[in-house]
Structure 1
């Protein structure tokens, strides 16, 4: 026989406790999640994602309860934030914030079930669901094989009740729909009509929902304890070898801070005089480099902290002073980057990308403040979870504030103030932008909203995959319809100052 492969040495301390077989209630919740995923998620996202996520969360809770695990405060925090992320598709229609929210929700749910307070425990728990999908299926299979008769006696009545309910609702629903057209419309909106061509996709969605729910339940029944992962400190360096590069870097950061004080505090005329560039050119020329400087500073702090001298109290004091000063000067870089982007937005308008990098830069500034605070206090055990929490809150705020709506609002407000708008900044936004763009006059309104009208189409989808923003956009475009015809929209864009080559061709 071939020997059973053993896990890597660094992985063994985090081995989970022996798990009990999958409880029947958790298996039922996983099956229900799969059915809801197949039934609701085909064709679009809305409140359906929140419904499926809530049912999967119930299944994980049942598995955790059967394993004797207790709910802790941080578990509640991560879980509530994950469900808040899943509410984004119910409110807004933009694709990128929705994708970001789904990824963050999965990571937060994994962290909630794993737990963790050290850097290894928090960072390795975030993607933990990925390598629990296969073991979750095997765990469920073992639970089904070992299901005792009393367990089957509990499951069978529920399955029979569900089957009877489905039969009764199908028969009487068909009769009511045949008898009354209004009732037929109501029932048609409650659930999808299944086309035979959709069956493969719905089967794939069922499998996806099932294995995801089983993966979370498997974690809840006995998570891997990533906090026990052994992370050895780096080799301690001598004071001169370690401190000299940091002193030089601090001097460079300090020089940059002085230059910024001279240039920026002088205002617009100072920028023109000292650089020969306009405000927007000055902002565009350096923002991305300064953002890279901020990220690299965090990398330098992490590496320097690992190799810092730590034999005496004087060593610890030196590390806190140099690293704290570097973080403090990095805040000047963050402020400069934000100021440059503000100039850029004021001159050229807001876009999705500009808004996203503004949010990220603000979050990086918050992380730097946390690092400074951690250097001033004795214990920094709170830092790993606080950094992740701040990042997830930033992602949640970004999704829940409706970035496309914010972009449209800023560009319309700028148009109302200056009479200038770059329609390229707003034409490719999602329907979240319709309420703000509806305030534009004539040709600008027609050009800005034409692609969104085509995206909406004529018929609305079922309630469970229709966002609040989509419903509001339909109401606006019904109340104030756009002129028909592709040529009409193209002419409107030409009259509004958008050249034909700047907007997308459509069928």
Structure 2
């Protein structure tokens, strides 16, 4: 990767080393009990280390750099708010991707897609760079950094000794310390040491990448060989006609009603919706790929070719948006029949995002595609953030509770598998169904609570609700079995 390497990294600043140390210490103290707001607390000093290193290298933050950095930190709010693991994991992965964009910069597709590789490469070079800077500044224990480290050690010893004495002298003070200070027991020393090392190595990798990023914009993607107008246009025009025919049928179904279609196809309402959605989702994805390859091989000899490309692909994109709307409508029909699940809400979100990508491609055909890679990445990150903030498990529970109120049908087994984010919605159910749905969650949350920094707001709110209105221990489980129906996976 030498051809993509920027100039050698500037010497590490003292401020960078302090930020790296803070990241390592916070990782050691906060990350051993789960992930919530502690992830954001650890990321902030790591971001500061990157800022100080970039400043020493003469890099100034630009608008897109700030956008990626702020977006990455904002995504880490999701684990602090939501108890469900799956949106938090998605937000964490996306935050890493945005962080790599902030560190490397770049506006091309290779820069957007290959950024995380540069951070992995810095896991080797970053610690070496940091150790060299540490030795230069320690001055054999006489430098400012050596003085600072000695002061930290003395401070830690004093806090440990006098804190332990005060805690043993007063039970209330001991309880306060147990809530505020992480429990670092002897048995947990290996884990904490590992977290310290990972925090130091990770923050040094981030800082080194900011000081000397790989220039992925230099990757040259060979242009596709332009095709003749007939060879290029004929397949796409035929595909466009097929799209138009399908959309015409959808319009006819919408006007004539679904009952006529179901009678002719010998399908149930739910079968018609379920059968169509997955195919239409695949159609949307394949349409995006077709457009990408069509642009690569599009004729480009002059104004007439540009007009042809815009006309054919613009029409195909517009018809693809109708397909997106049809797919979303079919899933709405299916959810109305069988309820909302994590899989269903996830694929609808992906379908909507693919529709947005098609709109961006249409806009690029009018105003140019230079901004398209970063716009696609930004919309993906914004979608993940919105998905996490809306609390998918809470939305699922609310929709299914409303469905129960309308139809009297409720998937009790699926409700029991939801996270604590669903508790406020499930709390609205009438007894004994409420107790049946919440009992398993109450048992899970009744275990020893995690420290404040590893407890999400969703979990804390669920604990408050269940403490004020605990599930009935004497719930009639046979009644719940009759009320609930296992239809989540139909």
Same fold, TM-score > 0.5, yes or no: yes
Structure 2 gaps, min length 5? none
The corresponding residue for 2:284 is 294
The corresponding residue for 2:421 is 432
Q: Say whether residues 1:164 and 2:164 are aligned partners.
A: no
Q: Is the 8 A contact 2:83 2:459 kept in 1?
A: yes
Q: Is the 8 A contact 1:349 1:425 kept in 2?
A: no
- 2:114 aligned to which of 114, 124, 139: 124
CA distance in 2 between counterparts of 1:265 and 1:99 reads: 42
Q: How does 1:250-329 map to 2 (within 5 A)?
A: 250-329=240-319
- 1:29 aligned to which of 12, 19, 39: 19
Q: Is the 8 A contact 1:257 1:332 kept in 2?
A: yes
Cα distance, 1:489–1:186 mapped onto 2, change above 3 Å = farther
Cα distance, 1:492–1:190 mapped onto 2, change above 3 Å = farther
1:127 Cα deviation from its structure 2 partner: 4.7
1:22 Cα deviation from its structure 2 partner: 2.4
CA distance in 2 between counterparts of 1:79 and 1:153 reads: 33
Equivalent position SS for 1:26: helix
CA distance in 2 between counterparts of 1:164 and 1:242 reads: 74
Q: How does 1:69-108 map to 2 (within 5 A)?
A: 69-108=59-98
Q: Say whether residues 1:15 and 2:43 are aligned partners.
A: no
1:114 Cα deviation from its structure 2 partner: 0.8
Q: TM-score, normalised by structure 1?
A: 0.91
1:397 Cα deviation from its structure 2 partner: 0.4
CA RMSD of superposed structures (Å)? 2.2
Number of paired residues?
489
The corresponding residue for 2:484 is 497
Q: Is the 8 A contact 2:338 2:488 kept in 1?
A: no
Q: Say whether residues 1:336 and 2:323 are aligned partners.
A: no
1:24 Cα deviation from its structure 2 partner: 2.8
Q: Say whether residues 1:387 and 2:396 are aligned partners.
A: no
Q: Say whether residues 1:421 and 2:410 are aligned partners.
A: yes
Equivalent position SS for 2:143: helix
The corresponding residue for 1:412 is 401
CA distance in 1 between counterparts of 2:317 and 2:120 reads: 34
1:334-381 deviations in whole A, cap 9, x for unaligned? 01100001101111111111111111111111111111111122x221
1:439-496 deviations in whole A, cap 9, x for unaligned? 11123212211221222133322111111111111111111112348xx685454243
Q: Say whether residues 1:458 and 2:442 are aligned partners.
A: no
Q: Say whether residues 1:480 and 2:469 are aligned partners.
A: yes
- 2:180 aligned to which of 145, 170, 190: 190
1:119 Cα deviation from its structure 2 partner: 1.8
Higher mean Cα deviation, 331-340 or 318-327? Answer: 318-327
Structure 1 gaps, min length 5? 1-6
1:318 Cα deviation from its structure 2 partner: 1.2
- 1:153 aligned to which of 120, 135, 143: 143
Equivalent position SS for 1:304: helix
Q: Say whether residues 1:226 and 2:216 are aligned partners.
A: yes
1:290 Cα deviation from its structure 2 partner: 0.8
CA distance in 2 between counterparts of 1:152 and 1:256 reads: 78
The corresponding residue for 1:351 is 341
The corresponding residue for 2:432 is 443
CA distance in 2 between counterparts of 1:49 and 1:57 reads: 12
Cα distance, 1:255–1:230 mapped onto 2, change above 3 Å = same
Cα distance, 1:417–1:151 mapped onto 2, change above 3 Å = farther
1:420-448 deviations in whole A, cap 9, x for unaligned? 21223322111111111011112321221
Cα distance, 1:384–1:497 mapped onto 2, change above 3 Å = closer
Cα distance, 1:345–1:302 mapped onto 2, change above 3 Å = same
The corresponding residue for 2:134 is 144
CA distance in 2 between counterparts of 1:446 and 1:130 reads: 48
